[in-house]
Amino acid sequence: MSKAMSQTTGGHYLRVMLVIAALAAVLLVLTLVAVLQTAPTTGDSGNANPAMRADGKVGSSVNYDPYIDRHAEVVARYHEDSLR
């Protein structure tokens, strides 16, 4: 009876190990697929579109914002007053 019981237990452990190995393989394949789909290729680097401003010109609109100049004036005036 103990021999039959040990064979049954060994068969059970073998099945559990096979299921775990199959799940690990499936997870590995899914991970590789996800990584390869999101990885950039060398051909994509030259096709990127530059940033567009609201007026349709290429480039960042931050350089052309008049509020930046006004802010710089206010900060300069504040620092002049605080040094006295």
Write the pLDDT tens digit of every residue in 10-64.
678 888 999 999 999 999 999 999 888 876 666 555 555 556 555 666 655 555 6
pLDDT of residue 63: 59
**Phi then psi for 55, rounded to 5 degrees?**
-85, 5
Distance (Å, whole) CA 30 – CA 25? 9
Residue 32, exposed/middle/buried by CB under 10 A (0-12, 13-18, 19+)?
exposed
